[in-house]
Amino acid sequence: MKIALAQLNYCIGDFSSNIDKIISVLNDEKERGTDLVVFAEMSVCGYLPNDFLNYNQFVIKCQESIEQIAQHAVGIACIVGAPEVNPILEGKDLYNSAFFFEEGAVKQVVRKSLLPTYDIFDEYRYFESAVDFKCIEFKGYKIAVTICEDLWNLGNNPLYKSCPMDELIKEEPDFMINIAASPFDYKHEEQRLMILSQNSRKYQLPLLYVNQVGANTDLIFDGGSLVFDKAGDIVAELAYFKEDVQVFNIEQLRSSIVLGEKSIQKERVGQVYEALVLGIRDYFHKSGFRTATLGLSGGIDSAVVCALAVEALGAENVFPVLLPSKYSSDHSIKDAIDLANNLGCQYTTIPITKITESFEESLADEFAGLPQNLAEENIQARTRGVLLMAFSNKFGHILLNTSNKSECAVGYGTLYGDMCGAISVIGDCYKTQVYKLADYINREREIIPKNTITKAPSAELRPDQKDSDSLPEYDLLDEILLEYIEMQKSADEIIEAGFDSPVVHRVTNLVNKAEFKRFQTAPILRISPKSFGIGRRMPIVAKYKF
Which residue numbers belong to the known binding site for ATP? 295-302, 402
Catalytic residue among 11, 62, 78, 148: 148
In terms of Cα–Cα distance, which of 99, 140, 100, 102 is closest to 251? 140
Binding residues: 118, 182, 295-302, 378, 402, 407, 517
**Contact (Cβ atoms closer than 8 angstroms) between residue 165 and residue 150:** yes
Distance CA 522, CA 49 (A): 19
Distance CA 538, CA 427 (A): 17
Catalytic residue among 112, 286, 405, 431: 112
The residue type found at 61 is K
Task: Give the angle subtended at the CA of 362 by the CAs of 361 and 363, to the nearest 5°.
Answer: 90
Binding residues for L-glutamine: 118, 182
* Tally: H helices and E strands in the chain: 17, 19
In terms of Cβ atoms closer than 10 Å to its own Cβ (0-12, 13-18, 19+), residue 387 is middle
Q: Pairing state of beta strands 77-85 and 207-211?
A: unpaired
Distance CA 66, CA 101 (A): 9
Distance CA 109, CA 299 (A): 54
Residue 310's alpha-carbon distances to 304, 340, 393, 419, 427, in angstroms, are 10, 10, 21, 21, 18
Q: Active site includes 41? A: yes
Distance CA 439, CA 433 (A): 10
Q: Active site includes 172? A: no
CA dihedral 519, 181, 403, 521 (to 10 degrees): -20
Q: Active site includes 112? A: yes
CB contact burial 271-301 (16+ within 10 A = b; e otherwise): bbbbbbbbbbbbbbbbeebebbbbbbbbbbb
In terms of Cα–Cα distance, which of 238, 153, 262, 268 is closest to 199? 153
**Contact (Cβ atoms closer than 8 angstroms) between residue 39 and residue 22:** yes
In terms of Cα–Cα distance, which of 179, 239, 235 is closest to 214? 239
Distance CA 341, CA 201 (A): 54
Question: Catalytic residue numbers?
Answer: 41, 112, 148
